[in-house]
Amino acid sequence: MLAAKVILFERGDTWRRALRVLGGDMPHIVETRSIAECRAELEEAKASVLGLELTARDGPDIVELLRDLPTITPMAAAALFVSPDDAEVLPAAEWQLLQAGARLVVSRRRRVGEFARFAREHLRQIDRLRVHSSAEIPYEQRVREELPL
């Protein structure tokens, strides 16, 4: 079965607080304080959404995690949070971060709603896959459900 959750890695609580205030109908968030803890959570739920706070301290480990994601699990999706203090280097690095595997980069707290929408959509897609991959649903019924009305 495909297990999925929202996993947030940050050493403080800036993004978690912003998600609580601006995230709207945000699913439950599993908070981690280290990359190793984040990887362990991902092992338990391989189709998860990762929200990773990118800092100079953790940058190399985060890029390594992004590059490892397709090997660990191609079903996971990752987004990066960049502190406004570090955002001045973002334009030069954003393309490289996206190439490394991030699907979204959020650099302002007021844009945290984009991550919430991204996470909800990813989890909806995983739910659809979970339902349609179920052996209990006959093939004919799955085809009828997929056809436009």
Question: Mind giving me the DSSP string for 68-96?
Answer: HHHHH-TT-EEEEEE-TTTGGGHHHHHHH
pLDDT at 2: 75
Considering only residues 26 and 4, tell me which one the structure prediction assigns the higher pLDDT: 4
pLDDT at 89: 64
**pTM, two decimal places:** 0.83
pLDDT at 23: 81
How large is the angle between the packed helices 59-72 and 90-100, nearest 10 degrees? 20
Rounded to the nearest 10 degrees, how much is the dihedral formed by the CA atoms of 10, 12, 15, 16? 90
pLDDT at 84: 75
- In 3D, which of 63, 67, 64, 92 has the Cα closest to residue 80? 63
Q: Is the pLDDT of residue 38 over 80?
A: yes
Q: For the residues 98-115, what does the mean pLDDT come to? A: 91
Q: What single letter denotes the amino acid at residue 77?
A: A
Q: Which domains does the chain have, with CATH numbers?
A: 6-146 (3.40.50.2300)
